[in-house]
Structure 1
Amino acid sequence: MAFAASLLNIVGIVFLAHAVYSAYEHSLLASASQSPSLRLPNESDPKLSLPIDIALETLFSVLLLCVGVVLSSPDLKPIQWSKWAGNLERSKEARIVDEAGVAAGNPYAQLEERPGFWDPRGAKKAFGLWVTEGSKSGSS
């Protein structure tokens, strides 16, 4: 698949370069004559109108380049944080321990394990325990 995408990109670049060169050469036709605006009407002026074959070649080359770039792009990552972090932590690089004992897998693990990090789940659990203990002591 990568070879086909690279081939599409190369063919698209060649066609685009040819279309640009053709458009440039076509625009030089106006400068070759003495006064093109006196002899030709506005719709026939080479500086204002581009032949349909050059326009179609330009569109075709851009389409080839777009398809080639899309096919050569890497796979998309999951949007949800939990899936991305789970894939990252299960990877081989996550098991490698870097300097100071920090694993290389999850870049945010260091932030979540810092001492001053407030854990809302732990706070909710502690609040639930406090409420159940308070209701037990109030009923007796």
Structure 2
Amino acid sequence: MAAAAIIVNALGVVFLAHAVYSAYEHSLLPSSTATPPSGSALSRSLKPNVNLPIDITLETLFSALLLCVGVVLSSPGLKPIQWNVWAGRLEKSKEAREITEVGVGGGNPYAGLEERAGFLDIRGKRKEFADWIKKDARSEKS
């Protein structure tokens, strides 16, 4: 697939270069025999000629289409949009679980946020409080 993308991109560049050169050459053709007025700020060779033949226009559009297709073919695969799918794939891969250097690898990148020491565990605190209340209630009955 990579070789096909390179060939499509190369053809697109060649066609685009030819279309640009053809448009330049067409702009140099004399469009009228009248001489430009002497008070003209632009000389006759610098005035733009926008009446391009249809073949040059079609070649330009075709080359742009080829380049777009070549860029799409040569791009890497898309990654999942949903974070949980991405993190799940990352946790399942053996390479991602291996820590090769500090801060690189280690599975889910959000695991550190969930297991950090300064993170307050509300459910755990609520359970501790309920146990404390039950223990206090038992001590009052005795």
TM-score > 0.5 by shorter chain: yes
> TM-score with structure 1 length normalisation?
0.69
Give the one of 70, 86, 89 matched to 1:87: 89
Which sits farther off after the overlay, 77-86 or 46-55? 46-55
Which structure has more helix as a fraction of its residues?
1
Alignment check: 8 A CA contact 1:93 1:104 kept: yes
Change in 2 beyond 3 A, CA 1:64/1:36: farther
**Match of 2:118?**
116
> TM-score with structure 2 length normalisation?
0.68
C-alpha distance in structure 2 between counterparts of 1:97 and 1:104, whole Å: 5
- After TM superposition, where is structure 1 displaced by more than 6 Å over at least 4 residues in a row? 31-34, 131-135
Matching of residue 16 in structure 1 with residue 49 in structure 2: no
Give the number of aligned pairs: 126
Structure with bigger gyration radius: 2
**Match of 1:25?**
25
One-letter code aligned to 1:70: V
Change in 2 beyond 3 A, CA 1:132/1:31: farther
Partner SS, residue 69 of structure 1: helix
Alignment check: 8 A CA contact 1:30 1:47 kept: no
One-letter code aligned to 2:56: I
Unmatched tracts of structure 1, length 5 or more: 38-44
Q: Percent identity?
A: 60
**Match of 2:105?**
104
Matching of residue 70 in structure 1 with residue 69 in structure 2: no
